[in-house]
Amino acid sequence: MHISNIKLAWRNLWRNKLVSAINILGITIGITSALLIFSFVRKEKSTDKYIPDCQNIYNLNNNGGSHLSQHMVNLVKQEIPEIKELTYCTNDWSPQIFFTNNHTTFQVDKQLVADSCFFRVFQFPAVYGDPAKTLNRANQVVITQSLSRKLFGNENPVGKSIIYNATYMQNTPIEVGAVIRDLPQNSSWDFQSVLSLQTNYKLDWYVENMEDWGTQNYRAFARLNKHVSAQTVEKKLAAIPMVGVPDYWKKNLHYGLTPFSQLYLNHPDVDILKHGNPLTVSIVQVIGILILLLACVNYINMVTAQREKRFKEVGIIKTLGSGKAQIIKLFITESGILLLISTLLSVFISLNMIGIFNSLTESKFTVPSIYSGWNLVILSVILLLILILTGIIPGLLFSRHRAVLLLKNQINQSRSNWFRNGLLVFQFTVSIALLAGIMLINRQNQYLDNSNPGFQRNHIIFANSNSNLGANMNAFRDELKQIPGITDIALSDEPIGYMSENWGRNLINNGKKEEVHFAKFTVSPNFFHFFGIKLKQGKTFNDNSSRNQDFIFNEKAIHDFGIKDISKAQIATSDPAKGRIIGTADNFNFESLHAPIRAAGFMCNSNYADVIYLKTDTQDRASFQQTMKSVKKIWDQLSPNFPFEYKFLNASWDALYRKDQQFQKILGITTLISLFLSCLGLIGMTFFIIEKRTKEIGIRKVNGAKVSEVMTLLNKDFIKWVAIAFLIATPIAYYAMNKWLENFAYKTSLSWWIFALAGVLALGIALLTVSWQSWKAATRNPVEALRYE
């Protein structure tokens, strides 16, 4: 019986080659797309869940902000015993870091600086040594397994020394305390090494900053004792004793806890970690489900559309003695063969698409990782659901009718027509919503590209400086000015767009003293002229500004701090004669347009900063490369240990919107997939509708109907279905896109024409899809059509 079912099922699939091909193609695309999308969503939602006891780890914050000073963290360490371990860390401030072992040097792109509790809070699996017992003294480092292999091969490096060269510290021996496994792709942490905090204590300016309550450059994480609730700890934090706390901070310390597991998707302000977008993940997940449903809808539509053609076949089978179970088995077998072919094709496509998928989602999936574990469970569930929807349900629908009615074709089809039409409306609802979404996202990204951030960024490159260059900065600048193609040079402590230094300082405003907080830049005197940033009032920096510790604030800071007269305001320093506010600069976006402009303060340093900007006026690629060769030659003479690695400011600024562009690509591809699946459904449906109405078309043509009239007759129903889909899709797309735009402080508008254009495009695609079949039917010889009937 099983062999006969397989033969009958295969014969039916082969006899209906077009339908079978459409079904196989549709379900293959549906399974492949859904499985890849669900793998990505699972990775995003499982981020950091691999860390032991993750549910007991919390981010310590103050007034809802994640930036803390060392004093703020130490106060909690001393007063809250319910916190088992508390660590604080920051990204290394050195723009360039190199590790050398036996004359082999590797650049470290991502390094943390942390206290000795870091690996007791975050218990990453170790390869060599015990990370929890390291970082308790200066010149210690924990490295990842991949970095260890680069430096030491397969040796155990624990206890061995390497030479540490960084922007602020050169030729320093540091000891490898432990090696941890490489961080998995579902980790919000992203580093190659973790340096002990004490290593930087030899830098006077570093220690001076740490000792100030207002220098909030650290992120803190706490591991609570088991059986102690976060609510209990938060109550104790609210009543924490303020022994030794400055008066200002006694009224401005309001500690809180945020679960570490929530940081990746919901707290992008904790910028020491990688982050995802919860709305993006939700939209992508819904799209994955919809694509899978579209594939199933196509198949169900095909099955129900074939019912009339198969009435006699099923009627004969029932007449020969087959019962409901045998008919259901026949349809399950048919669906099973189709699903088996689709699954094999899906695996083949995955093998060839995995690289593109990883590039698109910035992931590290492999085929075994996709077709293993929970993903295999998901795949099995998907296949089972499709089997139920496309095998069991159609079998039940066919088997419930009496054989005589099936043989005489006396089955009422009105309900199935409504069902098929409803499914087509669903398909185009999805397509129109996705079309509107991709157009809006493209418009928003163009808005970001074309928006003026308030500073010049064309023809500017920048490179990371170091102490070798700082010691010879005047000579370096004089040499660079002699190079053809270099028109100006400026300095700052961080690249524009990647501001991370936040200060809290006392402001004396018209005789009143208060604590203020702002983003702090250290810049060269010509910084504002270099970037075309105008001053609203006052004057720019001069040669004495660095010694006098002069400040320039942006308009936002002047407004927020309530400064009416800058001549009567200054930042408090150890010398009452210093810290004057000498000017007010125009607001400009020193961070991405996701965030509103915030208060910023600028200090002057004529001789050293972490970033060197070069403005060029080269007219072609060849002259630019020659200019860069000349710069590199001078650079290598003054800084032989640190290579000249430059970036374009435009490209660096555009990288701030990489996630948005990534989302646009993902949505664009899924929109194309949904449209393709909808068109496959239309092709199949049109094929059956025309086949069903062949006799009617022939009679109309015999009676003088024109080709255009026959095409209108066949196409008008599709126009109605797309119109209904448009009415359903518009409010759904409007709501989803309005929520997405909330991620931006500066955004485009939701115009009505976006949704209208999406509807027109969907209608045009639908008509193009069905018109060629309608035209073939309308131009057929009516005699052949009637003879066929």
Q: Residue 749 above 90 pLDDT?
A: no
Q: What is the pLDDT of residue 562?
A: 92
Name the least confident of 117-121, 385-389, 445-449: 385-389
Q: Which of 618, 634, 653 is the last residue of a domain?
A: 653
Q: Give yes or no for residue 403 having a pLDDT over 70.
A: no
Residues 386, 433, single domain; the answer is no
Write the pLDDT tens digit of every residue in 549-591: 999 999 999 999 999 999 899 998 877 778 899 999 999 998 8
d(CA 147, CA 193): 8
Say if 364 falls within a structural domain.
yes
Q: Is the pLDDT of residue 86 over 90?
A: yes
Q: What are the Cα distances from residue 199, in Å, to 140, 192, 210?
A: 7, 17, 13
The DSSP bridge pattern shows strands 551-554 and 581-585 to be parallel
Chain position carrying tokens 């490369």: 625
Q: Give the per-residue pLDDT at 87.
A: 95
The answer on 59 and 203 residing in a single domain is: yes
Task: Please state, in angstroms and as integers, the Cα–Cα distance from residue 471 to each residue in 285, 466, 526, 607, 609, following that order.
Answer: 54, 9, 19, 8, 11
- Using only C-alpha atoms, what is the Rg of the chain? 34
CB atoms within 10 A of CB 199: 22
Report residue 457 as tokens. 């960024």
Q: How many structural domains are present in the chain?
A: 4
φ/ψ (deg, to 5) at 626: -65, -40
Q: Which residue has the higher pLDDT, 445 or 135?
A: 135
Same domain, 220 and 353: no
pLDDT at 788 over 60: no
Please write the tens of the pLDDT for every residue from 631-660. Answer: 999 998 888 878 888 999 998 888 888 888
Name which residue leads in pLDDT, 534 or 363: 534
Same domain, 330 and 434: no
Render pLDDT for 254-297 as a digit per residue (tens, 0 to 9).
899 999 999 999 888 888 999 888 888 888 888 888 888 888 87
CA 656 to chain centre: 11
Question: What per-residue confidence (pLDDT) applies to 514?
Answer: 87
The domain boundary residue, chosen from 610, 626, 653: 653
> What letter does residue 482 receive in the DSSP assignment?
T
pLDDT at residue 183 greater than cutoff 90: yes
Kindly report, residue by residue over 117-155, the tens digit of the pLDDT. Answer: 999 999 999 999 999 999 999 999 999 999 999 999 999
Q: What is the pLDDT of residues 752-763, one digit of tens each?
A: 888 888 888 888
Q: How confident is the model at residue 379, as a pLDDT?
A: 77
Q: Is the residue at 739 inside a domain? A: yes
User: What would the mean pLDDT of 31-58 be, rounded to a whole number?
Assistant: 90
188-192, 313-317, 659-663: lowest mean pLDDT where? 313-317
pLDDT of residue 147: 94
Same structural domain, 202 and 92: yes
Mean pLDDT for 7-15 is 72
Say whether 256 sits in a helix, a strand or coil. strand
CB 607 within 8 A of CB 474: yes
The reply to whether 632 and 705 lie within a common domain is no
**What DSSP line would sit under 149-164, residue for residue?**
HHHHTTS--TT-EEEE
Q: Are residues 42 and 59 located together in one domain of the fold?
A: no
In a domain, 271, yes or no: no
Question: Which residues does 110 contact at the CB level (< 8 Å), separation at least 6?
Answer: 91, 190, 191, 192, 193
Phi and psi at residue 498, to the nearest 5°: -130, 50
> Nearest Cα to 71, choosing from 195, 250, 191?
250
Domain contains 563: yes
Cα–Cα distance measured from residue 393 to residue 396, given in angstroms and rounded to the nearest whole number:
5
Specify the pTM.
0.79
Residue that finishes a domain, picked among 599, 621, 653: 653
Confidence of residue 1 (pLDDT cuts 50, 70, 90): very low
| 677-730: pLDDT as tens digits | 888 777 777 766 766 666 667 777 676 777 677 777 767 777 888 889 899 999
How does pLDDT run across 294-349, given as a tens digit for each residue?
A: 888 777 777 666 655 665 566 556 665 555 667 677 777 877 888 888 888 988 88
For the chain, give the mean pLDDT: 84
Predicted confidence at residue 539, as pLDDT, reads 92
- Specify burial of residue 413 (Cβ count, 10 A radius: 0-12, 13-18, 19+): middle
Q: Are residues 687 and 781 in the same domain?
A: yes
> Based on the domain organization, do 394 and 438 belong to the same domain?
no
Q: Encode 310-325: b = buried (16+ Cβ within 10 Å), e = exposed.
A: bbebbbebbeeebeee
What's the token pair of residue 565?
């007269």
Angle between the N-to-C axes of helices 307-319 and 278-305, in degrees from 0 to 180, rounded to the nearest 10: 60
| Residue at token pair 């030659």 | 633
pLDDT digits (tens, 9 = 90+) for 287-297: 888 888 888 87
Q: Which domain holds residue 772?
A: 415-453+654-789
| Nearest by Cα to 505 from 249, 162, 786 | 249
Q: What is the mean pLDDT of residues 529-535?
A: 93
Same domain, 464 and 543: yes
pLDDT (0 to 100) of residue 784: 59
pLDDT digit string, tens, across residues 38-51: 888 888 998 999 99
Same domain, 108 and 140: yes
Same domain, 751 and 680: yes
Per-residue tokens: 622 = 């060849």
SS3 100: strand
Per the domain annotation, does 361 fall within a domain?
Answer: yes
Residue 3 tokens read as 């062999």
Q: How many helices (H) and strands (E) does the chain have?
A: 29, 23
